[in-house]
Amino acid sequence: MMKRLNRIALVGLLVQAAFGCATAQPPQELLDARSAYDAASKGPAAQLAPAQLDTAKQSLAKAEQSFADNGDKPVTKDIAYVAERRAELAAAEGAREKAARTRSQMDKDFKNSEIDAVAATKDRAAKAQAALEKERQARAEAEKNLADANKKLGAAMASLAEIAKVKEESRGVVITLSGSVLFATGKSELLPIAQQKLAEVAKALNDQGYQSLLVEGHTDSQGSAEKNMVLSQQRAESVRMYLISQNIPADKIRAQGIGSSRPVADNNTAEGRANNRRVEIVVTPLGK
Amino acid sequence: MREFCLVGVALLLTACGGAAIPQESLTAAKAAVAGAEVGGAASDPKAALHLKLAKEYVAKAESLIADGDNEEAARVIDRAQADADLALSLAKETSAEKEAQDTKESLDRLRKQAQ
């Protein structure tokens, strides 16, 4: 009976102790552990560090149990302290894993971007190369065209020089044709040989290109000035008409009679007079 | 009455630090401290705090063992272990975040170049 009473007393004491514990305020360590676990479970650890979070959970449960069993004793504080660290560790592991995954994704992005960048650079280089090649071809073509034009010009001038005197003056290139080659004395109709020569001149002019043409008729000083003026005008017009027939545009060629007013040689000698009887074609070059 | 005596003896044994020296857990805690140091805990402010605490608890535990208070020493060793583990995790977290930041910066640079 005595033993039984003692047992009841002992149980009563234990129950009282347990109640005492339950009503006591939790130590700061336990409060910290609870909030640390709460924070960790709401962070990336839930997904990315589940094992560590579970350890923290068990650790916290152990602290809660110790608090229930022992109340606010050092042992509870120690266990709660450990539980708080475990929760913080889980949070840190979660954050670490999250950073590692972010980094790994960015590594992939970096590699892809690098590939894109290399591709873009290659593309740019290829385009630049193509543009360069195109430019080179264009330049080569332009050079060839220029060379062709020069060759053509050279050939035209050479062929012109064979049939007429060509000289460069300030008013343009002057082609001088001897009057005796073109016309019979006192006439303004072209001789057949003259037509042949003028056809070559027309061809050379068309090959060479020009801005405009002026045909001038000149005579020697024999006979009246008035008559000479009319004859030179008619002769210049004959040459003009013939050149027009040889594909020289009519609006680009004018004819003018100068008469005897602009001799190039002495009218007192037969040779000088022959030189003064002439037709000049003044060529205004392109771009003037 | 005999039962009471046994309980009394048991309580006495516990109270007087009859527990064995927690050598194994002390060694483990010291290893964890060394591991945290190797992991760079000393150079990260948050981790450094926990590394310092871990070292202090190890020292305290050793002093308690010397005094024969093995039971409290074991609990202090648990604190040391928890702080050392946390210090290592925090150091690793910091370096992972730094690496992520570095990678982000180089990615941003590359993208700027590509534009």
Write down which residue in A83, A101, A119 finishes a domain: A101
Tokens of A8: 């009841």
Sign (positive or negative) of CA dihedral A126, A127, A132, A137: positive
Nearest residue, CB atoms, B75 vs list A78, A106, A114: A78
Residue A119 · residue B114 · CB < 8 Å: no
| The one-letter amino acid at A107 | D
A168 and A71 part of one domain: no
CB-based contact B90 A92, cutoff 8 Å? yes
pLDDT of A23 reads: 58
Residue A183 lies in a domain: yes
| The one-letter amino acid at A236 | A
B104-114 tens-digit pLDDT: 898 888 878 76
Beta strands across the sheet bearing A278-284:
A165-169, A172-178, A278-284, A212-218, A253-259
ipTM above 0.85, yes or no: no
Residue B76 · residue B64 · CB < 8 Å: yes
Residue A237: half-sphere exposure toward Cβ, Cα within 13 Å: 9
Domains in chain A: how many in total? 2
pLDDT of B41 reads: 95
Given a cut of 50, is residue B95 above it in pLDDT? yes
- Give the C-alpha separation, B84 to A92, whole Å: 13
A79 and A171 part of one domain: no
Helix (H) or strand (E) holding A173: strand A172-178
Residue B72 · residue A74 · CB < 8 Å: yes
CB-based contact (8 Å) between A250 and chain B?
no
Residue A185 lies in a domain: yes
Nearest CA in chain A to B84: A85
Residue A259: half-sphere exposure toward Cβ, Cα within 13 Å: 11
Residue A116 lies in a domain: no
B43-73 tens-digit pLDDT: 999 999 999 999 999 999 999 999 999 999 9
Residue B83 · residue B54 · CB < 8 Å: yes
Chain B, 30-89: which have a CB under 8 Å from a chain A CB?
50, 72, 75-76, 78-79, 81-83, 85-86, 89
Nearest residue, CB atoms, A106 vs list B81, B85, B100: B100
pLDDT of B9 reads: 46
- Give the C-alpha separation, A276 to B87, whole Å: 117
| The one-letter amino acid at A219 | T
| Chain A interface disruption, residue of B25, B64, B85, most A CBs within 10 A | B85
pLDDT of A6 reads: 60
SS (H, E, C) A52-111: HHHHHHHHHHHHHHHHHHHCCCHHHHHHHHHHHHHHHHHHHHHHHHHHHHHHHHHHHHHH
pLDDT of A34 reads: 97
pLDDT of B12 reads: 45
CB-based contact (8 Å) between A107 and chain B?
yes
Q: Which CATH architecture has domain B17-114?
A: Up-down Bundle (1.20)
Nearest residue, CB atoms, B92 vs list A86, A96, A114: A96
Contacts of B97 in chain A (CB under 8 A): 95-96, 99
Nearest CA in chain A to B46: A92
A194-200, long-range: CB within 8 Å, 24+ apart, which pairs? Answer: A195/A242, A197/A163, A197/A164, A198/A239, A198/A242, A198/A243, A198/A246, A199/A246, A200/A159, A200/A160, A200/A163
Contacts of A82 in chain B (CB under 8 A): 78-79, 81-82
Write down which residue in A81, A101, A121 finishes a domain: A101
- Give the C-alpha separation, A99 to A84, whole Å: 23
pLDDT of A10 reads: 56
- Give the residue extent of every domain in chain B: 17-114
Q: Which residue has the tokens 């009282």?
A: A16
A97 and A172 part of one domain: no
* Domain interval for residue A48: 15-101
CB-based contact (8 Å) between B24 and chain A?
no
- Give the C-alpha separation, A247 to A258, whole Å: 25
- Tens of pLDDT along chain A (288 residues) come to 455 556 655 554 555 555 544 457 999 999 999 999 999 999 999 999 999 999 999 999 999 999 999 999 999 999 999 999 999 999 999 999 999 999 999 988 888 888 887 888 889 899 999 999 999 999 999 999 888 877 777 777 777 777 778 888 888 888 888 877 788 888 888 888 888 888 888 888 888 788 899 999 998 888 888 898 999 999 999 999 999 999 999 999 999 999 888 898 888 888 888 888 899 999 888 765
A255 and A182 part of one domain: yes
Per-residue exposure over B76-115, b if at least 16 CB sit within 10 Å of its own CB, e if not: bbbbbbbbbbbbbbbbbbbbbbebbeebeeebeebeeeee
pLDDT of B109 reads: 86
